[in-house]
Chains A and B, each alone.
Chain A
Amino acid sequence: MMEYKEEDFILLSGIQHFSFCRRQWALIHIEQQWQENLRTIEGQILHERTHDNTVREKRGDLIVSRGMAIFSRSLGITGACDVVELHKASDGVSIFGRDGNYKPVPIEYKRGKPKEDESDILQLCAQAMCLEEMLLCEIPEAFLFYGETKRRLKVTLEDELRQRVQTIVKEIHELYDKRYTPKVKPSKRCKACSLAEICMPKLCKNPSAVNYIKKNLLEVEE
């Protein structure tokens, strides 16, 4: 199996940016531009809360681990899980320092409500694929938790979904290698995009600086 070097790992959180808009991904991950607005700050607060407690909680047959650092050499990604639940099960895997066997279930917390696109699902699946590689196990399902609806949404990690994760991660690596920021393709999304101010999607409608200067100079009468 092909393996990435650690220094070439990309951030797992980029998957959702990339599937939302490639240019947004490039602005954040290649150009390191990040405009904080209310929404991203809210997101951070929610995340801080879940990552708050890096100690594992134990409730009966359940261990809850928060802010677990994860990676995958085959995908070449690194990141963190908001929450990984470890359910005691005889057909699970052994966990260092614990009695018995466990089945891991990743849970990703999101503010707002379920999105129309599948960026959250892809990100969750990638997290599960990391855990599978790190713990040598299989994870058939995982959950998304939405702050607005306060609901857990079950996601079944089918082969087809995993393949899409692989494809998208490969594309991200390719774009990153080229250090290329794709041009604007304005769409409805731009309205909800936290990077719109930096991206300036308008610029694609009014692109010619050369014409703008020419036009202004022509108006200068002698």
Chain B
Amino acid sequence: MRKLLNTLYVTSPNTYLSLDGENIVILKDQVEISRIPLHNLEGIVAFGYTGASPALMGACAKRNIALSFMKPSGKFLARVVGEVRGNVTLRKAQYRLSDNTEESNIISRNFILGKIYNTRWVIERATRDYAMRLDVDKLKKVSKVLANSLKLVEQSENLEQLRGYEGEAASQYFSVFDDLILQQKEFFYFRYRNKRPPLDNVNAMLSFVYTLLAHDFAAALETVGLDPYVGFLHRDRPGRISLALDMMEELRSVYADRFVISLINKKEVNSDGFTQKENGAVTMDDDTRKTILKAWQSKKQETITHPFLQEKVEWGLVPYAQAMLLARFIRGDLDGYPTFMWK
């Protein structure tokens, strides 16, 4: 597996990113505050209304460093995309599959099988780890429903049906999501998923972390030569990285959600870091965002054994591994897309 490089998260507002030789230089009020060699970087994510020089954008595109701009809230604004990488043949095959709803259904089934499988694992795992603190019967019941969802999904005949099963499974999972939060419950609770805007602390964190994961998937797909905008389950919509969203499904619970829950349970975040506006919208403060980004970086470095490749990889490389496997499947080297099924 390839080497995991760093992602640079630029959080201080009103900084300007520029290029000097082989380095990215971060300027604030025209004074250099930091300088980092590009060759160590896999991606740059800038929060706040930062500026960047075209020279830097070009250098990133050339070196295949994903450069994204987000609002301070974590909402995605724009990405820099260089010359299309990889081969037209692979992309055309991807487009043909995407146009074919039957084929799209077969691929998407695997995304969703992975998603539900992992969701169920998260619940099962919680019942084992915290049997004394949880309503195990309640969770086991949901797990059973999810096991049944897997059967339905396996046989779903079209995308619409598949989306239906997926929706039911998701609401089952989210119905017990709050149970998994075991600390600071008066400030961190979960009623239902909301995002525009997030209406509680947990949703604010989930949205933020999902954006990070989407960035990583989009970058990984581009690296292997696939088009992150053309999906199978998520249909094309201008400006939406549909394929990245498709592929994210299987990692949401096991990677992003568990990450958020552990930040809360380990008290690495606290209620002071969140403010609620009059309309209910919740925003995180800079420090909380920084804490999350730092923890996310170290989470990426944890090694796991990839369930299909049976090879040690860092969590941070899983999006890349999955993108690669999808490309292999589209090219005909594999008989199916091996979704990430965590154990």
Contacts and interface: CB of A to CB of B under 8 A. Distances in A.
Contacts of A216: 117, 307, 341
A70 interface: no
B113 to A, nearest CB: 6
Contact of A209 (B1, B86, B154, B329): B329
Contacts of A207: 333-335
Contacts of A217: 113, 117, 150, 154
B322 to A, nearest CB: 12
Interface residues of A, number: 26
B207 interface: no
Interface centre among B90, B120, B224 (most CB of A within 10 A): B90
A31 B117 contact: no
Given A213-B113, A216-B117, A220-B150, A30 B89 contact: yes
A212 B308 contact: yes
Q: Per DSSP, are chain B's interface residues mostly helix, strand or loop, or mixed? A: loop
Contacts of B333: 183-184, 203, 207
B331 A181 contact: yes
Nearest to B116: A220
Given A197-B2, A200-B324, A206-B308, A213 B225 contact: no
Contacts of B120: 220
A31 B86 contact: yes
A221 B147 contact: yes
Given A31-B90, A216-B117, A216-B341, A209 B335 contact: yes
A198 interface: yes
A209 B338 contact: yes
A35 to B, nearest CB: 7
A200 B224 CA distance: 13
A35 B113 CA distance: 32
Interface of A: 30-33, 35, 179, 181, 183-184, 197-198, 200, 202-203, 206-210, 212-213, 216-217, 220-222
23 contacts: A30-B89, A31-B86, A31-B87, A31-B89, A32-B86, A32-B87, A32-B225, A33-B224, A197-B1, A200-B328, A202-B309, A203-B334, A207-B333, A209-B336, A212-B338, A212-B341, A213-B110, A213-B341, A216-B307, A216-B341, A217-B117, A217-B154, A222-B148
The 6 closest A-B pairs by CB, nearest first: A209-B336, A209-B338, A31-B87, A210-B336, A216-B341, A179-B89
